[in-house]
Amino acid sequence: MSSIGFQKRQAGDRLKHAIDVAVALPMLVLISPVMLAAMLAIRLTSPGPVIFSQLRVGRDAVPFRCHKLRTMAAGTPSLPTHEAPPAAVTPVGGFLRRFKIDEFPQLWNVLKGDMSLVGPRPCLPSQAELIEHRRRYGVLSLRPGITGLAQARGIDMSDPALCARTDWAYLRNRSVAVDLRILRATFFGGSVPVD
């Protein structure tokens, strides 16, 4: 990467992180009553920790701890969501997943700079095929996101090649406007017209 390209990337990263923090901080304050209620429900209905922290692949393939509200029975093996046994999801966990409440603690990851509001969803270090596809497309240069283009389009990590190609489409077309469209589609549905 040329020095001009590197400077542009740094400036774009600083702007994106500033927007992330400006949105994540008030969101964390606003949703704190819901998160506290969810934590209480988890504590009262199943044994184990309330917060689930899992090693994930971050920007430039650097691992980081991704935080979520626990939705599975304690002791469930660390697997990608699409491979986890449905019976392992607790009744409260199913509700939290349906409304994406389990993702709320990732706002802390955003504030720390490990994640962005929008970007490729962070995968597990064991998902070698997806990591290799993302490396080939240059997607690992991005901060992972709480949501992303693949998720807004209903694509999960069970198809690593398609997931990585969709992440690449986001990489090529990313902008504040695209991020806003992805956030809107994540919460309210609809399409995200990105090549």
Which of 91, 56, 60 shows the shortest CA–CA distance to 70? 91
DSSP 143: P
154-174 confidence digits (pLDDT tens)? 999 999 999 999 999 999 999
5 vs 85, residue with greater confidence: 85
pTM: 0.89
Burial 89-118 (b: 16+ CB within 10 A, else e): bbebbeebbeeebbbbbbbbbbeeebbbbb
With cut-offs at 50, 70 and 90, classify the pLDDT of residue 5. Answer: low
Question: Per the structure block, which two tokens stand in for 85?
Answer: 């046994």
Please name the residue that has the structure tokens 């899992």: 54
81-107 confidence digits (pLDDT tens)? 778 888 999 999 999 999 999 999 999
DSSP H/E element including 131: helix 128-137
Cβ pair 56, 94 in contact under 8 A: no
Which sign does the torsion angle of CA 193, 25, 32, 110 carry? positive
130 vs 12, residue with greater confidence: 130
**Using N-to-C axis directions, what is the helix angle for 128-137 and 160-173, rounded to 10°?**
30
Question: Per the structure block, which two tokens stand in for 63?
Answer: 């691992």
Distances (CA, A) of 87 to 47, 60, 137, 140: 16, 34, 35, 32
Q: For all residues of the chain together, what is the average pLDDT?
A: 92
**Confidence at residue 7, expressed as pLDDT on a 0 to 100 scale:** 66
